[in-house]
């Protein structure tokens, strides 16, 4: 953490937060973007990376991950300070400056935009105890870098879109890929399941994982113990890497401690996306107002509205509306 006082700190690196960060940079504000996960993208990247989206203006079809890549590429044109793998825990106003407390330290800022969607995502983990050292190299809940799987023997656990998509993609670079699922049927798009069936992925179903431990002879590898559902059959596979894709849980309970006006789980905002707290705005899936739609298109529009009002509050003498061509600095 540094000693800067940011103009705007945006909490949440989903579509709403990434685009609002870019727009705030276009308005020449200095911006911090905080995301609890190690990578940006929010729901489209985390929950439906390969699903096609058809209702983004001017893009007839784009997948969740392509949308995320484009948003990040756009943000990189102007850059901002990004704090990834950092969760916001509290907001406190001290002498007109907001202190945004995180699990890694405090960020000071004049205004805040809350864009936390359904709350901080955490991966659903294996439910039994295992050696925490396994998470250093062998056991993951995210793919940070596909290259880590090149030429490796890998097992992927899960039966949803994400597990099936990763099995198809990683099988193209791995030495071998096994997909472990507790049912015989996947909860994934039909086209993905057909692609899976045409691939070399070894489909192990219906099995659940009972245990994971380092291999006794070669501690770079792990033994994954599997039990067949409704059977006593137990078998062990030895792999380099296990990727667990059991989905994500989100938690927005933290909002109750921030003195915000809420309606159910949502933050109430006015027409300029302002909350009841001074210079604190909110956008995207976490907010409610009459007619609110939980769509990416709506979230994109809410960012510039919030940024413009924040700008006007902070710097009343600055022009508060302009078209992109007059704002963009090459």
Ligand X SMILES: Cc1cc2nc3c(=O)[nH]c(=O)nc-3n(C[C@H](O)[C@H](O)[C@H](O)COP(=O)(O)OP(=O)(O)OC[C@H]3O[C@@H](n4cnc5c(N)ncnc54)[C@H](O)[C@@H]3O)c2cc1C
**DSSP string over 277-314:** STTEEE-GGGEE-TT---SHHHHHHHHHHHHHHHHHHH
> Where is the binding site, in residues?
35, 43, 48, 88, 121, 285, 325
Residue 284 or 304 having the CB closest to ligand X: 284
Nearer to ligand X, 195 or 285 (CB): 285
The stretch near ligand X (CB under 6 A) out of 201-209, 256-264, 291-299, 306-314 is: 291-299
Q: Which of residues 15, 158, 159, 303 is near ligand X by CB under 6 A?
A: 15
Q: Determine, following the binding rule CB under 6 A, whether residue 13 of this chain makes contact with ligand X.
A: yes
* 34 near ligand X, judged by CB under 6 A: yes
Q: Could you tell me what percentage of the chain is helix, strand and coil, using 3-state DSSP and rounding each to the nearest 5?
A: 30, 30, 40
Residue 11 near ligand X by CB under 6 A: yes
Which range of residues in 46-54, 177-185, 209-217, 223-231 is near ligand X by CB under 6 A? Answer: 46-54
Interface residue with ligand X, options 112, 168, 239, 296 (CB under 6 A)? 296
Secondary structure of residue 176 in the 3-state scheme: strand
**Shortest CB 255 distance to ligand X, Å:** 9
Q: How many residues does the chain have?
A: 330
**Residue whose CB is less far from ligand X, 65 or 294:** 294
Q: To the nearest whole angstrom, how small is the minimum distance from the Cβ of residue 10 to ligand X?
A: 9
Our finding on whether 17 is near ligand X (CB under 6 A) is yes
Q: Which stretch in 39-47, 151-159, 198-206, 268-276 sits in contact with ligand X by CB under 6 A?
A: 39-47
Q: What's the chain's Rg over C-alpha atoms?
A: 22
Among 21, 36, 68, 279, which residue sits at the site for ligand X (rule: CB under 6 A)?
36
Q: Report which secondary-structure segment, H or E, holds 243.
A: strand 241-244
Q: Does 12 bind ligand X (CB under 6 A)?
A: yes
The DSSP string of 73-108 is: HHHHHH--EEEET--EEEEEEETTEEEEEETTEEEE
Q: Which of 233, 231, 228 is nearest to 209 (CA)?
A: 228
Tell me the CA distances in angstroms from 88 to 1, 43, 104, 297, 298, one per residue in order: 13, 18, 9, 25, 24
Cα separation of 45 and 65, whole Å? Answer: 5
Q: Tell which residue, 27, 65, 31, has the closest CA to residue 48.
A: 65
| Chain centre to alpha carbon of residue 148 | 20
From the annotation, which residues make up the binding site for FAD?
A: 35, 43, 48, 88, 121, 285, 325
Give yes or no for residue 158 binding ligand X (CB under 6 A).
Answer: no
Residues at the contact surface with ligand X, assessed by CB under 6 A: 11-17, 34-37, 42-44, 47-48, 53, 55, 87-88, 115-121, 254, 284-285, 294-297, 299
């Amino acid at each position: 953490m540094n000693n800067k006082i940011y103009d705007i700190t945006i909490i949440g690196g989903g579509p709403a937060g990434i685009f609002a960060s870019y727009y705030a940079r276009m308005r020449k504000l200095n911006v911090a973007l905080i995301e609890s996960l190690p990578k940006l993208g929010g729901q489209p990247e985390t929950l439906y990376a390969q699903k096609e989206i058809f209702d983004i203006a001017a893009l007839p079809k784009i997948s969740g991950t392509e949308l995320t890549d484009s948003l990040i590429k756009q943000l990189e044109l102007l850059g901002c300070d990004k704090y990834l793998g950092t969760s916001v825990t509290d907001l406190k106003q001290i002498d007109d400056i907001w202190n945004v407390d995180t699990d890694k330290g405090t960020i000071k800022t004049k205004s805040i935009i809350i864009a936390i969607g359904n709350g901080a995502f955490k991966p659903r983990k294996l439910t039994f105890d295992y050696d925490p050292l396994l998470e250093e190299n062998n056991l993951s809940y995210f793919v940070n870098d596909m290259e880590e799987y090149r030429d490796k023997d890998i097992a992927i656990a899960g039966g949803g879109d994400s597990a099936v998509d990763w099995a198809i993609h990683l099988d193209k670079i791995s030495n071998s890929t096994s997909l472990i699922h507790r049912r015989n049927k996947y909860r994934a798009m039909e086209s993905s399941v057909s692609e899976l069936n045409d691939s070399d992925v070894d489909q192990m179903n219906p099995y659940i994982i009972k245990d994971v431990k380092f291999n006794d002879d070669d501690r770079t590898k792990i033994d994954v113990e599997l039990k067949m559902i409704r059977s006593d059959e137990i078998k062990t596979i030895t792999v380099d890497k296990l990727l667990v894709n059991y989905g994500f849980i989100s938690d927005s309970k933290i909002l109750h401690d921030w003195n915000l006006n809420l309606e159910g789980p949502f933050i109430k905002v006015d027409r300029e996306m302002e909350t009841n707290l001074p210079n604190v705005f909110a956008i995207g899936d976490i907010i409610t107002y009459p007619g609110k739609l939980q769509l990416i298109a709506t979230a994109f529009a809410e960012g510039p509205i919030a940024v413009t009002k924040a700008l006007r509050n902070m710097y009343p003498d600055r022009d508060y509306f302009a078209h992109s061509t007059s704002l963009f600095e090459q």
